[in-house]
Structure 1
Amino acid sequence: MGNCKFVDELNRLRKSSSDSIDGTDTFDDFKKYMHVSRSAEKDLIEILYKIADSGRKSLVMLCGSAGDGKSHLLSYLKNDLRLLDNYVVYNDATESSAPSKTAIETLSEALQGFSDENLEKPGKNFILAINLGVLSNFVESSYGDSFKQLRQYVINSNILTNQLNEKGYEENSAFQHISFSDYHMYNLTAHGVKPEYLEHLLEKVFRKEFENPFYNVYNNNCKKCFLSQKCPVKHNFEFLANEKNRKYVANALVEVTIKDKEILTTREILNYIYDIIVAQNFNCEKIAQSLTNEVSFLKEYISDITPSLMYEYIDKSVLLNRLKKYDPLLIRSEQADEDAISYYVSSDVLNEVISVLDKEVYSKVLCQQSAIEKINSDKVLKAQLFNILERLKKIKSDTIHDDAYMSFLKMLYYFNTGTTKKYGELYDLVEKAVIQWCGKEDQDNICFNNCHEGIALYEHIEFEPYLDASLSTKKNEELRIFLPFITVKYESKKTGEIISLDIDYSLYELIYKLTAGYIQTAEDRNNHADFISFIHKILRTGSADKEVFLVTDDNRKAIVEKTKFGVYKFKVVR
């Protein structure tokens, strides 16, 4: 890539770049420029100031997963803000200090000042970046026996559970923590998601300011390049300099975290940004050679622009593979079919191309008269361009047409804000989904057994929602700390048992489809054992121990009732 200074500069975004490695000893100008403040950072800084005011020796834990930004944050706090001058900084709890020692043993030695024996003795503050798995192994190990108070803090703070901890600084405690798993790449509002962090990160790369190192190289070199008017990399950069186009990318990344539980790290996101700007085999010389044949050049150009790079490459990265499932081309609708027919039967696609590409940077190449002539006459080129046009329509649209997704976001907000009055709609969906899954007969009785040949057994279910009084009501318009799933609870009138179900997006989508009449498949049964278990528990709350309805294949019906004397009565209804 040495023949293109701009691509060399963009290469700093890649995971393989030395710039992606964070250490606590330095925080260079590039990292300083790329730094984007996050909610976890703000909360941690507040804790550090309160520790300074308290004068108490403290252990601060930054908990999370690999690559989520713990090292970067430590480096920023230490070198840029100078907030860790009075702290011992322990950055990697997965490494051992000696070949003969395990990481857990090394960690135990490092934390001796906070063992039960030494907790009240004077000493230096300590800040520790630690993965949740390592923390769990440590407090449960034999070394953890010397840290019983730390173990109790971990338990009381729900650090290793899926419950939220919103306490912040805990007075009179030697232990404090921030868990990155409590925070997300987006905030949640009553109207959907607000991906502020992602948008700010994208803005850092594409901002038209000379303090932006990428824009600096672009401005100084791309205009002089002999490929300037034909370069897909330059045009991709200009395409994503448009805030609206970046917003689409940010929302697409949020969608994959919610739908597929993809854990996004800043490192992965920056690598993804590179992947949608620079094609895998991009080469200036190759582009220059293709200019001798306009059809070859156009095919190469279309495959190398962002709307193609986002969806057409497989096995380049896990993130690109995930996003490929949400290619706008996979959304079928009557309008989409009509657009496709109209485009492919047209002998001249100029108007269709201009209507979509007008004002987009790619029009400099694709709306030229000679390009349109080649597109009209080459079937492969015409099909390639159709894909681009359909994706650009979605990118330029402000509307999300996924009803299940939007409904889930709304319910997720109601759940996390404790908006009880809105729960009725959610519980109604769950109950309808259970009935659809099991099947019902005309008296609204639910099937609980259809294993007998020619006969299905039904019972009456009274769903009794249980609203947890401990749920706090939040008046926030925007949530930055929240659970990424919804929990519904029902109470058995028979036993008082509380039957709960955690609903992530995948299960919510199934529930949403069931309420619309969808019939579950074997794959659904394999993927949602939690829902099946929940249904079985709900069925145990029904009337089967007192009254059972039998329905035959030819629709004859009978009732078996248990009398007060413990005997059963059989009655044919029809």
Structure 2
Amino acid sequence: MRLKEALGVLSKASPYAVSTIRKGKQPDEYKYKEYLYVEPEIATDFERKLVESNDNTILFLCGSSGDGKSEVLTRLCNKLEFQNIVFHLDATHGKTQHGTAVDSLNELFDTQKKQQCKLAVGINIGMFQKFIKFGSERHRDIKNMFTQFLKNRHEKGFQCGNAVFYDFETYPRLDFTKGRVESEFVARFLQALTSECDENPFHSLYIYEKKVESQLAFNFQLLREKDFQNALIYLFGVIRLYNEQFLVPRLFVDFIYQLLTAENKQGLIGNLFTHLDNQISEKIVLHDPLSKSNEVLDSFFLEYVTDSLSHETIKSINYLTKLAGCELENVNIARLAWVMNKEISQKFPNSKLVNLFPERSSVTYLDLYQRLVKNKFDHNDEDYLVELFEKNILESILNYINRKVPAELNGFVISRELNDFVICNKLEVELDLEYLEEKIFFSPDLLEIKFIVNQDVELFLNLDIKVFTLIQNIKNGYLPNRSLHNEFTKLDEFIRELINATSKTKEIRVFDKQGSDNLIAEAKKGRRGYTVSGSIF
């Protein structure tokens, strides 16, 4: 067997893509699938609960398609100590040709209630809502438990009545809490796949490919590099935050299969930023480091085409070419330099390839999230948050709102326009640090940031990485447009709420949008009423 055939067990077209109960002797390729299995923490917890729970308990293993529910339940079902437990591997499909999944669940719960047996069910999240709506009224108790679970999905091992729910979403495969993207699941899988040991059945096949100098051998070797693995994990995190693409095991292993085996004259790095037949790949190409130009990158391309690269830069290019196992085009030299930046920086510190790309907004966003998930802020955290939100984010938003007036509107915000004039309300905004310290942030998907406006009005910014990036771009002079849809809508909503929060201000100013002396009038409210100065005429 050649390496590509063995890697075929990872393909979505493989008969092993979905686990079923298999009996008897398995084909030779089954050993490759078994070797690569990474037992998730949820499987350990679910098994422990199977042992501890009483008879008449229903245990639900919940998740999305491809999460690995069938894999976990199949392995448990095959264990001798669980032969007295009823397993229902997939509650998404009906048992009969004309029956529905809801019909099958109705029958399953009928049997469970009659026999008072312990039941383990693999179920997609969408089936809960479907059963709540269409399930039989004789199972109203189970419907109510489903409703309670959906309200408490953030709780690991949520219990309600005689039901226990283990949800893959509470066992994330990507960790954003350390200021960077980490994944024990991906790291363990790639380490197993590429390890140089006799226990790894792929290793001997790789050795043969290396002898015949196949491109697959070079791809496999590059995937072994820690920097490449870290770049993959980072990209998985980016597409999770920007594109809501979850790291589903079935999609992930198929992506690795295509990444390694798809024919490409530019090798592994060419495949990484080429549109493969895989949802993860489709999202990754949207975050090609070359999608945004910069002065350093343009300078490298110019020196490359004019043959004016330094000796150390040429050495670094030769190093990357050797790693890739093929002659690389200049664009893929740049991409691979981005992936291998840490190693290039150490081996060739004066190369033009070092730090070709600026730090992305995602890095700052993850640094923010790392601080928000702390139980208690220290002084550095407080200073960082105040600087970021009050001096950076809010200042950028106010400059955007007030852009129609040439004058500095320090402490004021445009609330409305009247022909050639703008009316501005007094604005004082403070970040509510106490609220942020007490709030529990379950994920970086959406961060609810609280401000206090003019000392008494509460204001919330629903911040995600897209809105965060948009605000950073505004700071750099970019004017957003409605083609950005979701993030523009969220920012626009916050701007409206910010202006509304100043509606009861005690001080307003009127500015001329065109005149050289912009301040026309000012009104302040005191104990004896308003004091007005200046004149519109």
Q: Same fold (TM over 0.5)?
A: yes
| Aligned-residue offset at 1:47 | 2.8
Whether the 8 Å CA contact 1:132–1:160 is kept in 2: the answer is: no
Of the three residues 10, 25, 29, the one matched with 2:7 is 10
Report the counterpart of residue 319 of structure 1 in structure 2. 280
Which residue of structure 2 aligns with residue 460 of structure 1?
426
Give the 5 Å matches for 1:200-349.
200-219=188-207, 221-222=208-209, 228-229=212-213, 231-279=214-262, 282=263, 302-303=265-266, 305-311=267-273, 313-314=274-275, 316-346=277-307
What is the number of equivalent residue pairs in this alignment? Answer: 505
Gaps of 5+ in 1: 283-300, 367-383
Distance 1:572 1:323, change over 3 A: same
Asked if 1:180 is matched to 2:180, the reply is: no
Equivalent in the alignment of 1:287: none
Kindly indicate whether residue 416 of structure 2 is the aligned counterpart of residue 449 of structure 1.
yes
1:411 offset after TM fit, Å?
A: 1.4
Q: Secondary structure at the match of 2:480?
A: coil
- In 1, Cα distance between the equivalents of 2:139 and 2:374? 36
Q: Give 2:178's aligned residue.
A: 190
Does the CA-based 8 Å contact 1:24-1:72 persist in structure 2? no
Distance verdict in 2 for CA 1:537–1:510, change over 3 Å = same
8 Å contact from structure 1 (residues 88, 127) kept in 2: yes
Correspondence 1:415 to 2:417: no
Give the conservation status (yes or no) of the 8 Å contact 1:62–1:130: yes
1:391 to 320, 335, 358: 335
1:466 to partner: Cα distance? 4.6
Query: What secondary structure does 2:269 align onto?
Result: helix
Give the CA deviation at 1:521: 2.4
- The question of whether the paired residues in 2 share the 8 Å contact of 1:485 and 1:504 is answered with yes
Q: Which one of 368, 383, 406 corresponds to residue 363 of structure 2?
A: 406
Shift of 1:408: 0.6
Question: What's the CA shift string for 1:399-420, capped at 9, x where partnerless?
Answer: 7842421111111122233444
Offset at residue 169 of structure 1 (A):
6.2
> Do residues 62 (structure 1) and 61 (structure 2) align?
yes
Shift of residue 308, structure 1, vs aligned partner: 0.9
Shift of 1:98: 3.1
* In 2: Cα distance, 1:62 partner to 1:100 partner: 25
Look up the equivalent residue of 1:39 and give its one-letter code: E
Q: TM-score, normalised by structure 1?
A: 0.77
Structure-1 residue corresponding to 2:400 = 437
- 1:500 maps to which residue? 460
User: Does structure 2 conserve the Cα–Cα contact (< 8 Å) formed by 1:59 and 1:126?
Assistant: yes
1:106 match: 104
- Aligned twin of 1:292: none
Unaligned runs of 5+ in 2: 343-354
Deviating more after overlay: 103-112 vs 24-33? 24-33
**Corresponding residue number in structure 2 for 1:293:** none
Is the CA contact (8 Å cut-off) linking 1:525 and 1:532 kept in structure 2? Answer: no
- Report the alpha carbon displacement of residue 560 of structure 1 after superposing the two structures with TM: 5.2
Cα distance in 2 between the residues matched to 1:59 and 1:470: 38
Question: In the alignment, which residue of structure 1 is the partner of 2:346?
Answer: none
Instruction: Determine the C-alpha separation between the residues in 2 that align with 1:363 and 1:461.
Output: 56
2:36·2:189 contact (CA, 8 Å) conserved in 1?
yes
Specify whether residues 516 and 363 from structure 1 end up closer, same or farther in structure 2 by C-alpha distance, changes over 3 A only.
Answer: closer
**Cα-to-partner distance string for 1:259-282 (whole Å, 9 max, x where unaligned):** 222122111111111222122xx4
Q: Secondary structure at the match of 1:187?
A: coil
One-letter code of the match for 1:444? G
1:68: how far off? Answer: 1.4
Which residue identity does 1:397 align to in structure 2?
N
Cα shift at 1:31: 3.4
- Structure 1 residues 251 and 363 mapped into 2: Cα distance closer, same or farther (>3 Å)? closer
Alpha-carbon distance between aligned partners in 2 of 1:552 and 1:141, rounded to the nearest angstrom? 62
Q: State how far apart, in whole Å, the 2-side matches of 1:464 and 1:150 are.
A: 47
Instruction: For 1:90 and 1:468, locate their aligned partners in 2 and report how far apart those are by CA, in whole Å.
Output: 47
1:539 equivalenced with 2:499 (yes/no): yes
Following superposition, the deviation at residue 446 of structure 1 comes to 0.7
Deviation of 1:547 (Å): 4.5
Q: Which amino acid is the alignment partner of residue 101 of structure 1? A: G
- Higher deviation after alignment, 457-466 or 233-242: 457-466
Higher RCO, Cα 8 Å, sep 6+: 1
Of 37, 43, 46 in structure 1, the residue corresponding to residue 45 of structure 2 is 43
2:446 corresponding residue in structure 1: 485
Within-5 A mapping of 1:492-571 = 499-524=459-484, 527-544=487-504, 547-553=507-513, 554=515, 555-559=518-522, 571=533
Deviation for aligned residue 1:223? 5.4
RMSD of aligned alpha carbons: 3.5
Residues 437/183 of structure 1: CA separation in 2 closer, same or farther (3 Å cut): farther
1:21 aligns with 2:4: no
CA distance in 1, matches of 2:44, 2:396: 42
Aligned twin of 1:92: 90
* Aligned equivalents of 1:56, 1:109: Cα separation in 2: 19
Distance 1:179 1:332, change over 3 A: same
Q: Aligned pair 1:136/2:135, yes or no? A: no
Q: Is the 8 A contact 1:405 1:505 kept in 2?
A: yes
For residues 546 and 516 of structure 1, what CA distance do their matches in structure 2 show?
A: 33
**Secondary structure, aligned partner of 1:93:** coil
Partners of 1:412 and 1:484 within 8 A in 2 = no
CA contact (8 A) 1:465 1:489 kept: yes
SS of the residue corresponding to residue 264 of structure 1 reads coil
**Shift in Å, 1:88:** 1.6
What TM-score do the two structures reach when normalised by structure 2? 0.82
Contact 2:466 2:487 in 1 (8 A): no
Indicate how the Cα distance of structure 1 residues 358 and 492 shifts in structure 2: closer, same or farther if over 3 A, else same: closer
Cα distance, 1:506 vs structure 2: 0.9
Q: Would you say the 8 A contact 1:490–1:500 is kept in 2?
A: yes
Distance 1:408 1:516 in 2: 17
- What's the offset of the Cα at 1:176? 1.1
Once the two structures are TM-superposed, the CA of residue 339 in structure 1 deviates from its matched residue by 1.9
**CA pair 437-128 structure 1, distance change in 2 beyond 3 A:** farther
The verdict on how the C-alpha distance between 1:50 and 1:205 changes in structure 2, with shifts beyond 3 A counting, is same
SS of the equivalent of 1:314 reads: coil
CA distance in 1, matches of 2:453, 2:311: 65
Distance 1:33 1:207 in 2: 12
3-state SS, counterpart of residue 129 of structure 1: strand
Distance 1:190 1:6, change over 3 A: closer
Matched residues, percent identical? 18
Shift of 1:338: 2.4
Q: CA deviation digits over 1:364-410, x for unaligned, max 9?
A: 665xxxxxxxxxxxxxxxxx532232122112113784242111111
Shift of 1:151: 4.3
The aligned residue for residue 297 of structure 1 is none
